Structure 1
């Protein structure tokens, strides 16, 4: 199962390392990553590959807690949600 992780917050040392280390410990593979700093704010999107039986609720809670520790907002969403939104918006054009 693929998921998208977004991370946003004030730029500081250790954000990428913190998120990447957590994912490695959970055996979650990073398939793609995009990050930038805009006017002092760090933004990152990651496409990750989860086990089909991954506990999505636990991952959501863990990443939220990690975000609090790092001083950023971290969210994870199933990639299928974005695909469905794209299909819906495509039908409105």
Structure 2
């Protein structure tokens, strides 16, 4: 399994989850875990996805998430699970 962490932060609006999940489904990326919260108007989502069967590379996924983020006014960060875990052990 090749796991990637996707984090999303920004102003809450209709369609954030739909837009991101639609892209992932179209590229055969499986969502393993998802957690989202909204505090007042601030939206935060963290996803763990498996890109083992993806139709795009990690670089292409990152670029696509950056495009979605720009379109929707969100900050979307994509990183490999092992890097995420190493960063949060310090």
Whether the TM-score (by the shorter chain) exceeds 0.5 is yes
Give unpaired runs (5+ residues) of structure 2: none
SS in 2 for 1:51: coil
Match of 1:56 in 2: 58
CA distance in 1: counterparts of 2:66 and 2:32, whole angstroms: 21
For residues 31-77 of structure 1, what are the alpha-carbon distances to aligned partners after superposition, in whole Å with 9 as ceiling and x for unaligned? 00000001211000000001278511111111000111122111111
Give unpaired runs (5+ residues) of structure 1: none
Match of 2:40 in 1: 39
| TM-score, structure 1 normalization | 0.86
Match of 2:7 in 1: 6
SS in 1 for 2:28: coil
Higher helix share: 1
Contact 2:28–2:53 under 8 Å retained in 1: no
Task: Pick closer, same or farther for the CA change 1:25–1:42 going to 2, 3 Å.
Answer: same
CA distance in 2: counterparts of 1:52 and 1:83, whole angstroms: 22
Match of 1:78 in 2: 80
Match of 1:65 in 2: 67
Report how far residue 86 of structure 1 moved.
4.2
Aligned length: 88
Instruction: Say what the alpha-carbon RMSD is for the aligned residues.
Output: 1.6
